[in-house]
Homo-oligomer: A and B are copies of this chain.
Amino acid sequence: MREESLLVKDLGEHGLLERLQRFCPSGVVGDDGAILATDPDKSLVVTTDVLVDGVHFSDRTTTAFDVGWRATAANLSDLAAMGATPLGITIGLSLPGEKTVNWVEEVYQGMAACLQLYQTPLVGGDICRSTVASLAITALGEVSSPRAIRRSIATPGDAIVVTGLHGLSRGGLELLLNPHLGTNLTTMERDQLIKAHQRPKPRLDVLPYLAKIPEEIAIAGMDSSDGLADAVRQICHCSGVGAEIDYSSLAMFSGLIKLVGQKAAGDWVLHGGEDFELVLCLTSEYANNLVRELGKNTSIIGKITKKPEIQITNLDGFMDSKILNLNKGFQHF
């Protein structure tokens, strides 16, 4: 194909991002947010997300309130993923003239409700006319420079900690799209799945526990917004290492198994996405401390290895151990 006729859709999001990275200084990008060293001790962390009507949300599964909540939660999660405490967010809102003012106000109410949980102010933004509604949110945070969590600093021997359950958001989406499913679930299980999808909570509550870990102990990591397996893959790719994941150590939510069975549930745990938990790599001593302190649903799921491949072991008999390609992204089961 000739270069000048190459279209965005031919290249895809990842291919395009790769091309555009040359416009950014190296070292600044590659994490959930960019780090700007504004001070000898403190760094500023900034992260931007764009959500488009019909692509990232739809009236079918997401109320305006939840659009605001989810967009805010996703951005605050990017800050949590860098170890950064939020300072504020801005929003750039594009709107067709035919959207109701009610819809817009409900988006803001959702944002405000999520922000309030983390005492974070909305510090302005921009509104403009467009043919499609979209939200561009930028979140700002700060982190003590040596405590910044990065994808690129995992070391062989590190334990891999996840801060909570996975697959629930994907399960909730399934129930919203197909309300006739999951009749065998209890009301609580149903609610928990749907809530996980509609009102995810960024894990900023983990940061005070990380602050107790000596700063010379590096913590690699990111959030699991694109799936748990993708997070492990990204960390390994950026750190030039591999990982061994013990499948039997992955906590499974009972409602998820009841909804789609053991095998698909396992797939969603690994690849479902949008659970917004943290995936952290650190020495096993401090990893164990963290699991003890955070408690329920926080667990060690494997370890970082020298060989640059990801091996998933103890696959419960329905599949042999599996090796995942570091560069090409995971193939779903």
Contact = CB atoms under 8 A, between A and B. Distances in A.
A91 B21 CA distance: 12
A99 B46 contact: no
Contact of A90 (B11, B46, B111): B46
A108 interface: yes
Contact of A123 (B36, B51, B130): B36
Given A7-B101, A44-B140, A88-B46, A127 B16 contact: yes
Interface in A223-258: none
A138 to B, nearest CB: 4
B101 A6 contact: yes
A17 B95 CA distance: 12
Contacts of A36: 87-88, 123, 140
Contacts of A25: 121-123
B124 A92 contact: no
B98 A20 contact: no
B92 A127 contact: no
A93 interface: yes
A6 B100 contact: yes
B19 A101 contact: yes
A250 to B, nearest CB: 29
A8 interface: yes
B10 A129 contact: no
A33 interface: yes
B134 A130 contact: yes
A219 B157 CA distance: 57
B130 A52 contact: yes
Contacts of A28: 88, 121, 123-124
A19 B102 CA distance: 11
A321 interface: no
Given A19-B101, A88-B34, A100-B8, A123 B52 contact: no
A320 interface: no
A15 B129 CA distance: 13
A4 B102 CA distance: 6
A111 B50 contact: no
A25 to B, nearest CB: 5
Nearest to A14: B127
Given A29-B123, A140-B44, A7 B99 contact: yes
A328 interface: no
Contacts of A51: 128
Contact of A126 (B8, B48, B95): B48
B128 A55 contact: yes
25 contacts: A3-B101, A3-B102, A8-B96, A8-B101, A8-B104, A9-B97, A16-B127, A17-B127, A20-B108, A23-B112, A24-B123, A24-B124, A25-B123, A34-B123, A38-B142, A48-B92, A50-B93, A50-B94, A52-B129, A54-B131, A94-B94, A130-B132, A130-B134, A136-B136, A138-B138
Given A28-B124, A50-B126, 12 more contacts: A16-B104, A19-B105, A20-B104, A23-B122, A33-B124, A34-B88, A48-B91, A49-B126, A52-B94, A55-B130, A94-B136, A132-B132
